[in-house]
């Protein structure tokens, strides 16, 4: 008996020497079945190592489903709830809110003030400052400048006031998760 690649199986070629399960289905070769596909006709090609599982009775790859891990998930959830209620986490959130809320309010007030002034006081906005530059142009450039300044201030505040505490909190959370059995090993 010969295999599909034209070679006799090792051990004499008797039918009882062949494995009991059918061979896994080969995918359509890249050339649409017009010629031999590299790797599939190779005698050293290992279909199981290439991602094909043992075939079940229907010739389809058998899938294994891992057992549910309810205890592990519950342990991880408890860790995150514990971290969320910790003083360190509350401090990081408080520092974040203490910067972001006033910064957002100041920026939105400045932006809305610019839009209101542009629509309700066109005479003020059209007042020349230097040559062709008027108040509206300076206020518009001020919008860009204030955006960059706010971004720089936020990044500086995060770096100096929150990043170290957040990183420490992240590491301690990872350690607690690993010790509860919920982390990858």
CA–CA distance, 124 with 146 (Å, rounded to integer): 21
Dihedral angle sign, alpha carbons of residues 29, 33, 34, 39 = positive
pLDDT at 81: 86
pTM for the structure as a whole: 0.52
Q: Which residue has the higher pLDDT, 72 or 163?
A: 163
Distance of CA 64 to the CA centre of its chain: 26
Q: Which residue has the higher pLDDT, 84 or 39?
A: 84
Segment of 4-8, 79-83, 146-150, 167-171 carrying the highest mean pLDDT? 146-150
pLDDT at 3: 52
- ∠ Cα 93 94 97 (to 5°): 85
CA–CA distance, 101 with 112 (Å, rounded to integer): 16
Six token digits for residue 113: 């003030």
3-state SS class at 32: coil
List, in sequence order, every residue forming a beta bridge with 130; answer none if it has no partner: 133
CA–CA distance, 82 with 65 (Å, rounded to integer): 31
Segment of 71-80, 138-147, 160-169 carrying the highest mean pLDDT? 138-147
């Amino acid at each position: 008996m010969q295999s599909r690649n034209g070679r006799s199986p090792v051990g004499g070629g008797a039918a009882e020497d062949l494995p009991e399960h059918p061979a896994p289905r080969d995918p359509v070769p890249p050339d649409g079945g017009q010629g031999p596909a590299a790797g599939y006709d190779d005698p050293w090609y290992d279909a199981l190592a290439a991602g094909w599982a043992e075939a079940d009775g229907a010739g389809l790859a058998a899938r294994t489903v891992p057992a549910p891990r309810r205890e592990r998930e519950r342990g991880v959830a408890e860790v995150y709830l514990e971290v969320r209620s910790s003083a360190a986490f509350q401090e990081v959130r408080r520092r974040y809110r203490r910067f972001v809320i006033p910064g957002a309010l100041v920026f939105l007030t400045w932006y809305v003030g610019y839009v209101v002034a542009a629509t309700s006081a066109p005479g003020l906005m059209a007042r020349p400052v230097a040559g062709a530059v008027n108040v509206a142009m300076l206020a518009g450039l001020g919008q860009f400048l204030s955006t960059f300044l706010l971004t720089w201030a936020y990044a500086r505040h995060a770096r100096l006031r929150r990043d170290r505490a957040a990183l420490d909190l992240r590491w301690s959370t990872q350690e607690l998760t690993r010790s509860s059995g919920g982390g990858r090993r």
